[in-house]
Amino acid sequence: MSEPIRVLVWGENRHEQLEPAVAQRYPDGMHGAIAQGIEANLGSRVRVRTTTLDEPEHGLTEEALADTDVLIWWGHAAHGEVADEVVERAHRHVLEGMGLIVLHSGHWSKLFVKLMGTTCTLRWRTEHDRELVWTVDATHPIAQGIPHPMIIEEDEMYGEQFDIPTPDELIFISSFSGGEVFRSGCTFRRGHGRIFYFRPGDQDFPTYFHEGVRRVISNGVEWAHTVRPERSLPTLLRYETEDFYNGHGYGGALSAEATAAAEQRATEPAGAE
Amino acid sequence: MSEPIRVLVWGENRHEQLEPAVAQRYPDGMHGAIAQGIEANLGSRVRVRTTTLDEPEHGLTEEALADTDVLIWWGHAAHGEVADEVVERAHRHVLEGMGLIVLHSGHWSKLFVKLMGTTCTLRWRTEHDRELVWTVDATHPIAQGIPHPMIIEEDEMYGEQFDIPTPDELIFISSFSGGEVFRSGCTFRRGHGRIFYFRPGDQDFPTYFHEGVRRVISNGVEWAHTVRPERSLPTLLRYETEDFYNGHGYGGALSAEATAAAEQRATEPAGAE
Amino acid sequence: MSEPIRVLVWGENRHEQLEPAVAQRYPDGMHGAIAQGIEANLGSRVRVRTTTLDEPEHGLTEEALADTDVLIWWGHAAHGEVADEVVERAHRHVLEGMGLIVLHSGHWSKLFVKLMGTTCTLRWRTEHDRELVWTVDATHPIAQGIPHPMIIEEDEMYGEQFDIPTPDELIFISSFSGGEVFRSGCTFRRGHGRIFYFRPGDQDFPTYFHEGVRRVISNGVEWAHTVRPERSLPTLLRYETEDFYNGHGYGGALSAEATAAAEQRATEPAGAE
Amino acid sequence: MSEPIRVLVWGENRHEQLEPAVAQRYPDGMHGAIAQGIEANLGSRVRVRTTTLDEPEHGLTEEALADTDVLIWWGHAAHGEVADEVVERAHRHVLEGMGLIVLHSGHWSKLFVKLMGTTCTLRWRTEHDRELVWTVDATHPIAQGIPHPMIIEEDEMYGEQFDIPTPDELIFISSFSGGEVFRSGCTFRRGHGRIFYFRPGDQDFPTYFHEGVRRVISNGVEWAHTVRPERSLPTLLRYETEDFYNGHGYGGALSAEATAAAEQRATEPAGAE
């Protein structure tokens, strides 16, 4: 009935090229496995594409982002190689209303860090910990159909303190065999966009073939898709008294006189002051 | 008994130089009026200094920030002139535990925008609106001693939608003669730092001589002052199983083998792939 | 495709019987006007029924509530006449997963007060104030299609402080001609149920014929309808180690020995101690 | 300098009477051990008293509560024996501004359940699990001086889902040897009162002699103590336009005419309608 949700899965795709074990584990790339999980769950309700770091503009051109309802981000070893200009662009699209799902090591991506404003650091260990993902918010759409707890037999450990702003909604908390805990499913609203961070998933484990993990990501896609009719960036505007609906563009912080004074001051030789 | 809270009031100090009416309204600068209000309320419990945009490094050297418990920020016409390097430095100090109070038009400062991750835009009008500041959270220390409502006879109007993350605590909501509303007192925790945004205050009105406004800012100073014993930046560390207290430094995302492969790949001529 | 949402609009229906002006304003009762607004917006996506205080068990029998996905509550003059037993029953259904929309003066209903745990008091005035309803959370489904601001030409004033727990989501803030502000659209999750409080609406004004107000309530119905497959009350259960999915019923706080001791103690003559 | 905080530790004191092992573990009662921990940490900054269920009015007379700044609640086996009238009284004092710390099994006390509005149920097990208490909010005063994690060698397990409203602040998350997690340090503001729920502590383990647990409770006392100058219950009042500070008492929901009509209707024989 309604249009399918347009999903773009962004994969860093470096471990797959550099580490044979990862390539074997994820023969279609990690982005490929993630995309297949969404298609398996949502079928005709989505149109899923993938792209990677090595594409021109990392595959995140203005056109590609404008054609995306929900962007999914997996990166790890090459956060620093993502061009600042592309990060700015994706950031703007989120604030305009594009949904964003950040997975696992994407916590340290430039895009997520810019949206959060914090360091997004944590404690970690790769040692075959079992992860139990407990649902804290049973009414949340992202938690529907997920066992309580969801068991992931082996995965990398992430532990608190996770340096993020307090989430708008805390959906999942994970524990690990070693005893650590982590806020592993969190939502954030920023501008007109909805963001879902989900912890599980690592290049060293087959996490993105786990049925429950795939279901959570799929639920996240449906949740992050905006209900607003069109995208727009929040903008600063002046409104006259009793005219609530017609804002004027911003004309600068200074009066005409002060602007002239400022300009004059700037052109005077420094010694004149 | 305890050490006084070290407060640094940062003023842009441009309107005062460019607009005679502002200079007359705030003969010691807006930063001067703000500083005096804090001293009047907190006396020996604080040590207050001021600095401005035109100082070297805008007066926000590493040394100055390390000597500051709570930074207060007022800027408006010259947000763009604040050096990115100084913004990075102040941002880091907030995440390490320095308190921050952002006043009025500081909503659009580089520092606040970086901490929030959003556009921080709003609607506005300068037309002699009366502002009523209503307390929503009666138990909050920042609201103590403030009339409900607090009346500001004339001030600039700021209206929703204010594009910020949902505040951790919403303390005040303002209304204006024209009917607009604004979340005018908000707290945010970021890293180890506490941030308080407070709306009232404009160069065109004597808002920083208003007794209630001064009391709110002073309450904010006491609230934003960290209770942590020392400043530190949240850091990503590896922890071995059962060793909860000794983290290792991060050694990079790739194994030694993969790093070597990546390096080789980087040095090969492009045509070889 | 999916089953229609089963909506039950509960109206106190006393003003309509006791005040001719109200009866004239709302010829089908206030509950009738509310129901018609939902049908007008949601059509075949809902099945709407109404009931009132004067029905046996106030029309809120176990059977009626079990057949309801979202309950809408309007009451004012006769909160005290609602039987405690019925309040307990409706409260339980909310915790089990029934959605609840509380309108206007329903803030002081026994049901809402029991769910909030606070006094739910506020300041008020009936004096033909104009109300402006501003959207604070532009991404929320309940805000879709609502003008910013939504103008209600005349309505009763409600002002802060509204003694409620901090809402999970703050969607709307209202201002009134007199300058008061109010958190007029708030969500709360309690147990497995979702609750939406919406302020506008009074017996002395034709608020429930206002197109925007009707749209908000209709959006609220879709939002409050649970996504969980079946209703259940959260229950305290014991789980053995590594058996995460099979809880035992609670067997009492004391050991068998201690229970016996407690019973003996209770039957001994008081002087024996 | 300032007056000491008046703390009242309420203990159910039944396990101590009925189970010899508990009496041996806590020779001064659990309330005694809790009180000693607060005195050890806060010294002259507090005046600590204790009382128990078996006292007249459970030791919670109007006079006693009026003389209390922060009430601490430990109950377990006899929640049902606490008189409803006393619960109402304590509930009112919390809404008026008395601080409340609810410990461990107090999650199911009438008072906490009434304040939360939910079932306050959870999953549990008594099996010598090790508990790790992780700090999520490093800037919170209640977390100061607490190791990260805080290790409790043996304690009862409480696991999610904990059926409470979303806390205003989530300070601690616990994990247990068995893999369960729990939101073990939560704050809630209700009316003019501040509430802190803290999980650790059981009659079967010497938890209230644990130095860190004692420190948390002591930090909680300082946090929960209101900063408002005097206690008052939020009250519904009418305010005339432009008279922001003088509310009138509530005169009833109906006009004089409607009240008369309602009274007449009530006295008429049922058949007359």
Q: Structural domain boundaries of chain A? A: 5-224, 237-267
Residue of B92, B93, B166 to mutate, testing the A interface (most A Cβ within 10 Å of its Cβ): B166
D118 φ, ψ (degrees, to nearest 5): -120, -175
The answer to whether the CB of B31 falls within 8 A of the CB of B74 is yes
ω into residue D200 within 30 of 0, thus cis? no
Q: What are the pLDDT digits (tens) for A21-32?
A: 999 999 999 999
Q: Does the distance separating the beta carbons of B179 and C181 come in below 8 Å?
A: no
Q: Per the structure block, which two tokens stand in for C146?
A: 């609502």
Name every chain C residue with its beta carbon within 8 A of the beta carbon of D254.
Answer: 14-15, 18-19, 77
Return d(Cα D173, Cα A173) in angstroms, integer. Answer: 9
Q: Which tokens is D26 given?
A: 């806590």
The tens digit of pLDDT for each residue in B30-59 reads: 999 999 999 999 999 999 999 999 999 999
DSSP-derived secondary structure letter, B205: S
Q: What is the pLDDT of residue A257?
A: 76
The residue-averaged pLDDT of C124-128 equals: 93
Q: Check whether B15 has a pLDDT greater than 60.
A: yes
Residue with tokens 């942590």: B228
**CATH number for domain D5-224, candidates 3.40.50.880, 3.30.1330.200, 3.90.1640.30, 1.10.3720.10:** 3.40.50.880
Q: Dump pLDDT digits (tens) for D126-146.
A: 999 999 999 999 999 999 999
Record the tokens describing residue C165, joined without a space: 């727990």
Size of interface C-D (CB pairs under 8 A): 150
Chain position carrying tokens 């009047």: B40
Confidence of residue D1 (pLDDT cuts 50, 70, 90): low
D127-159 burial string, b = 16+ CB within 10 Å, else e?
eebebbbbbbbbbbebbbbbebbbebebbbbbb
Strands A181-190 and C70-74: unpaired
Residue C200 to residue A29: CA distance in whole angstroms:
53
Average pLDDT over residues D81-108: 98
Shortest CB distance from D178 goes to which of C77, C237, C242?
C242
Please report residues of C whose CB lies closer than 8 A to that of A215: none
**Residue C258: CB partners within 8 Å, gap ≥ 6?**
D15, D18, D19, D77
User: Is the predicted pLDDT of residue B1 greater than 60, yes or no?
Assistant: no
Q: How many CB atoms lie within 10 A of CB B141?
A: 15
pLDDT at C204: 92
How distant is the Cα of B41 from the closest Cα of chain D, in angstroms? Answer: 17
Residue of A nearest to C98 (CA): A139
- How far apart, in whole angstroms, are the C-alpha atoms of residue D252 and residue D233? 19
Rounded CA-CA distance C44/C115 in Å is: 31
D132 vs D271, more confident: D132
Question: Which one of C116, C241, C258 has the shortest CB-CB distance to D127?
Answer: C241
Q: What pLDDT shows up at residue D126?
A: 92
Q: Do C166 and D168 touch (CB under 8 A)?
A: yes
* Binary contact (C226, A139; C-beta < 8 A): yes
Task: Characterize the bridge pairing of strands A237-238 and A193-198.
Answer: unpaired
Q: Which tokens is A132 given? A: 């139990």
Taking residues D156-161, what's their average pLDDT?
97
DSSP D40: H
Q: How many helices (H) and strands (E) does chain D have?
A: 8, 10
- For residues D105 and D202, the answer to whether their CB atoms sit within 8 Å is yes
Q: Distance between CA C194 and CA C186 in Å, rounded?
A: 11
Assess contact for C11 and C58: CB atoms under 8 A: no
- Cβ proximity of A156 and A189 under 8 Å: no
Beta partners for residue C126, in sequence order: none
Intervals of chain A under pLDDT 50: 270-273
Q: Find the angle CA(A72)-CA(A78)-CA(A82) to the nearest 5 degrees.
A: 65
Please indicate whether residue D229 or residue C112 has the higher confidence score (pLDDT). C112
Q: The tokens of D199 are what?
A: 């999980």
pLDDT of residue B257: 76
Residue numbers in C near D127 (CB within 8 A): 240-241
Candidates B120, B123, B197: best to mutate against A (most CBs of A within 10 A) is: B123
Q: Which residue has the higher pLDDT, C252 or B99?
A: B99
Q: Quote ipTM for the complex.
A: 0.94
pLDDT at A30: 97
Element at D5 (helix H, strand E): strand D5-11
Interface test with A, best of B236, B237, B240 (most A CBs within 10 A): B236
